């Protein structure tokens, strides 16, 4: 059965079950039960996560995001976990791995969502800067973009007040629709 693989951080974990509902009866949707965290962690785990599909040949789309952990400032030096150069290189390596592991799949990259400005460990200026890096990388490699950042930026009420970073249930449902639409567009482009 044609399969969609969802990869990414905890933002993906909130909307994954709703994406599955969006594709119910049409495609199988799979995802890791764990958080994809930062880009280097996703790169490291791909060889395990590819086993979520019955066969790599079944995977027709991979929808993926990384960024929030990469821009997190939790170390004593106050710097982002990954430098922009490290982030760029990791994204390129992930694209290479996804294409090698899932030769039929159309890859879609989701932009990193904004956070409540009260969150001390993530700055929206960093999110914007790293999204710019990601957009440049994806354009160079022909990877379509799902601009989840724009959705959340337009609807700050979708950001949970209890943690200042994740989406509310309503926000997760809205993002799931965006994910479905972006995957459908990518698959339509592939079949043209």
The domain locations on the chain are 3-191
Query: What is the domain class of 3-191 according to CATH?
Result: alpha beta
Burial of 105 by CB count in 10 Å (0-12 exposed, 13-18 middle, 19+ buried)?
buried
pLDDT of residue 190: 63
Checking if the pLDDT of 122 tops 70, the result is yes
* The predicted structure's pLDDT at residue 75: 87
pLDDT at residue 81 in the model: 95
13-41, pLDDT tens digit by residue? Answer: 999 999 999 999 999 999 999 999 999 99
pLDDT of residue 192: 58
80 touches 70 (CB < 8 A): yes
Q: What integer best gives the mean pLDDT of the chain?
A: 96
pLDDT at 191 over 90: no
Tell me: the pLDDT tens digits for 92-121? 999 999 999 999 999 999 999 999 999 999
**Cβ-based burial of 179 (10 A; exposed 0-12, middle 13-18, buried ≥19):** buried
- Model's pTM, two decimal places? 0.96
Does position 189 have pLDDT exceeding 90, yes or no?
Answer: no
């Amino acid at each position: 059965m044609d399969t969609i693989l969802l990869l990414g951080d905890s933002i993906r974990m909130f909307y994954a079950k709703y994406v599955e509902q969006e594709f119910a009866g049409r495609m199988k949707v799979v995802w890791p039960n764990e958080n994809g965290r930062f880009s280097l962690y996703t790169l490291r785990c791909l060889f395990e996560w590819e086993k979520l599909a019955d066969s790599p040949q079944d995977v027709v789309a991979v929808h993926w995001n990384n960024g929030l952990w990469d821009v997190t400032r939790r170390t004593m030096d106050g710097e982002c976990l990954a430098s922009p150069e490290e982030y760029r290189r990791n994204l390129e390596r992930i694209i290479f791995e996804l294409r090698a592991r899932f030769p039929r799949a159309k890859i879609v990259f989701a932009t990193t969502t904004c956070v409540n400005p009260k969150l001390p460990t993530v700055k929206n200026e960093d999110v914007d800067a790293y999204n710019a890096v990601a957009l440049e990388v994806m354009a160079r490699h022909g990877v379509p973009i799902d601009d989840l950042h724009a959705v959340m930026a337009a609807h700050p009420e979708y950001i949970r007040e209890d943690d200042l970073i994740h989406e509310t249930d309503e926000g997760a449902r809205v993002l799931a629709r965006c994910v479905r639409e972006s995957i459908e567009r990518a698959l339509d482009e592939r079949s043209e």
